[in-house]
Structure 1
Amino acid sequence: MTAISALQSEEALVSRLRKQQLVESIEHMSPVYLEGIKRILTVSADTELISSPAYYHAAVHAPSLNAFGSAVSIIQDELGHAHIAYRLLRDVGVDTEKLIFEREPRQFKYPYAFDVPLDSWVELVVANAFYDRAGYTLLGDIYQSTTFGPWKRALVKVDKEETFHLRHGEQWMRKLNKDRSGHEELQKAVDWMFLLTVEWFGLPDDLKKHSEQLNYGFKGHSNDELRQIWMSTAVPLCQELQLNVPAHYDEAQKKYVVDCAFPAHFDAQAKRWLLEDGACSWDDVIKRWKARGPKNEEFVAMIQRGKKEMLRLLEQEA
């Protein structure tokens, strides 16, 4: 019996979920559930994987050996998180060797923000405070809500480590913010990184195409709800440090609102939002995401280089 023929009917899956029973293996999945879990796991795995070269690019600018060690520890965690997600993909029938080492760079599915280089220690710690906070928000929601049992159990470890990453960013931001030059450098980083993280959560709910993530309980909150959860801690952090961000809490609406044109065009080379051009459409944002950013090819090449070098050596010896 093949893995596909062992899949359950949609009715059997829905019955299982209504009984609040976790999905433990491919035999408990319907075809639609299987494709949906592959999609969300691929995004999670790719995001964790590509964060490693993205963070290392900036970690070399650490102000001390101890700081560098902390950054490398975070990178090690991210690779471990990627391994967990790829292992789960392998368990549901995905050829992960091909997925990691044979895909073209633009085919990887991770947030656009990681294609924009982090060129300093300041940008790295803001990434920890913003990007890892986004990861914690997303994976924490999955940890609490997912119906896929193996992922729920694996995320116990991931949830704790992502907390360390964002706290590392917060502590360093507070440390750097103590003098004027540090505050100014933080503001420069926040100016371009804040909105990149706001868009990290994907299309607004009224434009979302894949409903199975909520319908099957892969996660518990919608994109817009997760965006609000992220802003509910990111905005107060920036306010505490007197860093300007284009967002505030609106008492009348009982939610955080973005104060500038959003979504907007972004100049990745200059690390600057073209807010003077006004808002763009989400179709424009999707085009930017699909075209990828300046470091996409370089960072994917760093991941794939080892295996390619090994294959070349084997060919030479043959």
Structure 2
Amino acid sequence: MDSVQVRLMREDDLASAERASAMTFFEAERSTRRVSDPEVEPRSAVASKQWIDRMRFFLGVDPGGCWVAVREDAGAGEVVGFAISQNRRGLWFLATYGVLPGHRAQGIGRRLMDAALHHADGRPGIFSSSVHPGATRRYRLAGFSLHPQMRMVGTVDRHTLPTVDGLREGRPDDFEWMDRLDQDLRVAGHGPDHEYMLGTMRLVVSRDRAKPGYVYIDDRGRASLLAAAHPGIAQNLLWEALASSRGRTLVNCVTTPNDWAIDVGLAARLDIGQEGYIAVRGMPVPAPYLASGHFL
């Protein structure tokens, strides 16, 4: 068996970690692909750069939560596993985690997860989990509750789009109240994550501070992270995201307490399917809330 070291990530690990991530998730998506799903494609060069930029950000904000497994016999240090977690005040979240298929069943995943969970230092935690049996077993043994989540996919029927008002473009001076809303919904605010996300996505917020809510919309018009004080505000924000979509779209991380999103997706003629779990420990499932895969 190859000798593998689990250690803190360094900036010069990023390119190798991205390659390991791309291969790990490509194989995972291919193995769980539904017959009706499009063929799985390798990660694009643009998406690879985005992954590296995002992990560099996490490494800069909270390096103690960023871990890699490296083959010691591979000259430059080949990354074969990774666990990128972050602490935001009283909350811990796992941004991404995986082990290359050829290095599983060797205890590497357990060692990575142990390191990331040690960094949590007892904080409540949250992350989005795949359906991989070994991973879900590890999460449950670590004390996480696994809540099935749904996704909605398809092309929005433009005739179904309602007129939505009461929204505006978001700005950095919105972050303070957004963090208060985050704290109400998910134990702690996103803090520096908001500045990063605003630099990479469109932010739309509620005009009425008495009924706060916000949504980040990515470059393909998909709701990447949504939080609101009331389901009605959340629905308006999701409709705004769907109106921004181009072609086939995705609404992800829909848990049972967030069935308000299902009503919007069905009205827009999207199809519903199951998609892994939201894992939480020491906290309820956030609602009204659609988690981000990486920023939770």
TM-score exceeds 0.5: no
Q: Kindly name which structure, 1 or 2, has the bigger radius of gyration based on alpha carbons.
A: 1
Structure having the higher strand fraction is 2
Q: Structure 1-normalised TM-score?
A: 0.27
Q: Structure 2-normalised TM-score?
A: 0.28
